[in-house]
Homo-oligomer: A and B are copies of this chain.
Amino acid sequence: MDLTKLDPLALEAAEADLQAEMDLLKAEGLKLDMTRGKPAPDQLSLADGLLSLTGPGETAWEDGADYRNYGILEGIPEARRLFADFMGVAPEQVIVGGNSSLTMMYDALSGAVLFGMPGGEGPWPKGGKFICPVPGYDRHFAICERLGIEMLTVDMLDDGPDMQAVEALAADPAVKGIWCVPKYSNPTGVTYSEATAQRLARMRTGAADFRIMWDNAYAVHHLGGGPAEIPNMLDLCDEAGHPDRVLMFGSTSKITHAGAGVAVMAASETNIADHLKKLFYASIGPDKLNQLRHVRFFQSMDGILSHMDKHAAIVKPKFDAVESALSRRLGGKGVAAWTTPEGGYFVSLDVMDECASEAIRLAGEAGVKCTPAGSTFPYKKDPRDRNIRIAPTLPSVPEIEKAMEVLCVSVELACLRRLLGKNR
């Protein structure tokens, strides 16, 4: 039943039915939270073994260095090797840091604003711009907004950002870079194609120090089918004659413990040297004991991959519950489209234009907290007010089922009222 084709009388009847359903849901006094892209406790417990792996007397490794002491800004050699495998690069092209790749990304861009980037002409001037595929990750956008870097949006398509739009924008010398989450993108779940990556690597940029911020946050975070393949962006950039174009990031935040993981940056040796120089002024070195715990826990890339299968077994039923609710409740109604990702942490739901805020407001009234409308867009402004980000990992399956029931009713109700001219 396509709601957009109903006549006003049928719409009114449908609204009354939905309102009755909503009243019943409200009476349940729910308190559910679908906002947080956080691992659930049982996911975190998968990695608890690493907490016991670096006890007294186990704090040095291969070359005898005492990892309890200061130093080794670039990360311990064992961790650089493991995470070089993880990032598909050489150990010399990796910095293993503290517990947050967000910090590394912030440091990279604030460092560019303060001191510049290799290949450029000093500190990034006021008026610098950045390309932001939308919908995207709010923390990326927050960094740009904070640093006064103007954000220019391009649409996310099925195989990555609209490259024609990206290429047109990148030709402007004021445009200094682009945010990319190349695999199971936040929130769409889109994985970049080889062709998209090639165009990013090869395109002409107006700025000599243009940077692709390649945040591979979900590199191994599949939902059962094994991690998708994406191109090695550092290789592609190198082959295209732009070896310094890409900064790649990753972390174990959603592999081990979200707040006590290990972050990694991979890039050309020129970029690595530049980042380490910037880091020197701000750090006495990363927590090497935590790096050691991670290396001992995983041993190898195979260890990481088999660990991620365990995550998939926990997370997949949650994504299935979302998909099932959306299909059952909103399928064929002509007011919503959504993604069915093969990995990552989010489902992206697009509803009828001008209805996302209202749907989220209604769900909130019934005790289901959703990510605020607009969050997936720069400056928190979704120009069509249609995108809703659903984060299924933290709640339990029954909680998700209930929350999705509320959200779906809220979406349908908001859209019905919009069709009836009752909203705005």
Contact = CB atoms under 8 A, between A and B. Distances in A.
A259 B110 contact: no
A151 to B, nearest CB: 14
Interface in A291-322: none
Range for the number of chain A residues in contact with chain B: 35 or more
Contacts of A257: 59, 68-69, 289
Contacts of A72: 259
A196 to B, nearest CB: 28
A146 B279 CA distance: 11
Contacts of A58: 51
A335 B107 CA distance: 47
A56 B51 contact: yes
Nearest to A143: B281
Contacts of A114: 110, 113-114, 147
Given A98-B98, A110-B114, A259 B282 contact: no
A369 interface: no
Contact of A68 (B67, B68, B113, B260): B260
Most buried by B among A70, A143, A146: A70
A253 to B, nearest CB: 7
**What is the total number of copies of this protein in its complex?**
2
Interface in A80-129: 98-100, 102-103, 106-107, 110, 113-115
Given A38-B70, A51-B56, A253 B284 contact: yes
A258 B102 contact: no
A285 interface: yes
A283 B69 CA distance: 24
Contacts of A271: none
Given A55-B51, A69-B258, A259-B289, A281 B146 contact: yes
A227 to B, nearest CB: 22
A44 B285 CA distance: 16
A21 interface: no
A223 to B, nearest CB: 20
B283 A103 contact: yes
Given A259-B289, A285-B259, A56 B66 contact: no
Contacts of A100: 282-285
A57 interface: yes
A44 B115 CA distance: 36
A45 B66 CA distance: 11
Interface string A257-287: 1111000000000000000000011111111
Nearest to A144: B281
Given A59-B51, A69-B257, A70-B38, A98 B287 contact: yes
A39 interface: yes
A222 interface: no
A155 to B, nearest CB: 26
A239 interface: no
A334 interface: no
Interface string A34-65: 00101101001100110110111111000000
Given A103-B283, A281-B146, A260 B51 contact: no
A284 B44 contact: no
Contact of A51 (B49, B54, B142): B54
A71 interface: yes
Nearest to A71: B259
A288 interface: yes
Given A51-B289, A70-B258, 10 more contacts: A38-B70, A41-B69, A45-B56, A52-B56, A67-B259, A67-B260, A69-B258, A102-B282, A102-B283, A142-B281
11 contacts: A51-B54, A68-B257, A103-B283, A106-B282, A107-B282, A113-B114, A142-B281, A146-B281, A259-B285, A259-B286, A259-B287
